[in-house]
Amino acid sequence: MRKQRRWNLLATLALLLAVILAFVAITRIDITPVQTRDSLRLSTSARSLTVDPRQLPPSGWTTLRGELLNAGEARVDQDALEAAPLHAQLGVYANTTSELALSVPSYAASGYIWMIWDGALQAYLEEAGISIDERITLLNTLITDAPPELDPVGDGPERLADGGYYQLFTYRGRYLLDQASFRHYPFMSVSLPLLLEANDLDGSLSYEQLRLEPDIRNSGMGFNARILGWLNQGWSIAEYRHQYATNFGQGGSESDYSLVLFEISFGTSAWASVWRLLLPLAVLMAMVLLVFKVRPDEQDARASIPVTVLLTLVFLQQTYRGDLPLLPFLTFLDQVYVVAYVVTLVAFVLVIWIGRRYADMEVMEDPEKKALVRDRLEQLDNSWPVVVVIFSSLAIAVAWFTIPPGA
């Protein structure tokens, strides 16, 4: 007995050493990501989006990109808006959204874009001998699809009564999505954005020269702008200051441009996610929970339950991970599975250990010692479900509440 305990202790120490060495090795080879110096800052133009933290949902989801301007920056930006010599109002109406692919991640969409601009911008276009769609680009069009061009409706711009110009365009393509709350998966939200920015070739359409102001009154989405299986959370449109970390070789300081971001947000149904992804996991955990309710003399049946559950867990996790991109972090569901793996592994170890103890008990000659061992093993059998429920509940709660706000 003492010899067996010594070997068990050595095995435990060897396992701990292996875990420590693996942790050190992974830490040394892990890659530290480099952050881009490009940034988006919300401008003071009229906008339609929720940025007040008091109005955010419990998940912290927001369509805001970058940081809000402080009071001083807002005054400077408002003065720059009024002083800009060129202005264009830009509106977006999404007809359809479809083919959401989280593994890319991207989506397909079509709709209308219109622009209303002043005489100063029209004079610039006429002098350059170009149309306005040649100076506006869709930044997040995937390069594998059609060129990011706007298709004009009609022969050319329409002259308005106030001296301005108006033109309607259609868009159709596949676009990259940049914002999704993957950390909350399966209780997640995604943003399907459309980014429109000045295509500045001669350095004359910088943020100080041209301001694209969103048409919040007429922009919107049609009844086909939806994704089957997802719940619509509304749309937003706003102007941002896109600060590039380069001057594109034109000399001078780094370049800033006016960018209009239109997006539609979708979220998953919490109940559907529970029934589809968490209920099978709960059933498996119930099997592990009741493993010690199997009669002690049926050791083979006891040992087979954790093994079966472990293989099923691996299969289920690989199934849902196929719908997601390769992520540098664990989602909430990943962390729930980690808890399930730990509980299942501990259950398997205890099944083996308890089986050995019952075998040792059968050869004991002292009735009192034999009865004492039996009582302790029965106490362990009875306390296992309570311990599992408490540990799992606390671990899952910590996993949820430690997700960074807005992630």
- Residue 4: per-residue pLDDT: 61
Residue 232 φ/ψ, nearest 5 degrees: -70, 135
Task: Tell me the average pLDDT across 339-362.
Answer: 85
Cα 397 from Cα 402, distance rounded (Å): 8
Q: Are 324 and 103 spatial neighbours (Cβ–Cβ below 8 Å)? A: yes
Using left for φ > 0, alpha for ψ between -120 and 50, and beta otherwise, residue 163 falls in left
Using left for φ > 0, alpha for ψ between -120 and 50, and beta otherwise, residue 186 falls in alpha
Asked whether residue 53 carries a pLDDT value surpassing 50, the answer given is no
Task: Tell me the average pLDDT across 379-399.
Answer: 90
Regarding beta strands 210-214 and 220-225, do their DSSP bridges make them parallel or antiparallel, or are they unpaired? unpaired
- Render pLDDT for 104-145 as a digit per residue (tens, 0 to 9): 889 999 999 999 999 999 999 998 888 898 888 899 988 765
Taking alpha carbons only, the member of 115, 135, 136 closest to residue 125 is 135
- Render pLDDT for 198-236 as a digit per residue (tens, 0 to 9): 887 667 888 889 999 999 999 999 989 989 889 888 888
Rounded percentage of the chain residues whose pLDDT exceeds 90: 34
Average the pLDDT over each of 11-15, 174-178, 188-192 and give the range with the smallest value.
11-15
- Residue 105: per-residue pLDDT: 87
Task: Tell me the average pLDDT across 88-98.
Answer: 94
Residue indicated by tokens 């995604």 = 190
Q: Place 11 in a pLDDT band, splitting at 50, 70 and 90.
A: low
Which of 291-295, 329-333, 372-376 is most confident?
A: 329-333
Statement: 39-268 belongs to CATH 2.70.170.10? yes
Q: Domain map of the chain by residue range?
A: 39-268, 272-401
**What would be the CATH architecture of the domain defined by 272-401?**
Up-down Bundle (1.20)
- Residue 406: per-residue pLDDT: 58
Q: Place 80 in a pLDDT band, splitting at 50, 70 and 90.
A: confident
- Residue 5: per-residue pLDDT: 66
- Render pLDDT for 147-186 as a digit per residue (tens, 0 to 9): 557 889 888 899 999 889 999 999 999 999 888 888 899 9
Asked whether residue 338 carries a pLDDT value surpassing 80, the answer given is yes
Task: Tell me the average pLDDT across 335-359.
Answer: 88
Q: Place 358 in a pLDDT band, splitting at 50, 70 and 90.
A: confident
Asked whether residue 25 carries a pLDDT value surpassing 90, the answer given is no
Asked whether residue 295 carries a pLDDT value surpassing 60, the answer given is yes
Task: Tell me the average pLDDT across 5-25.
Answer: 75
- Residue 144: per-residue pLDDT: 61
Asked whether residue 321 carries a pLDDT value surpassing 80, the answer given is yes
Q: How far, CA to CA in Å, does 272 sit from each of 79, 139, 228, 400? A: 49, 34, 13, 18
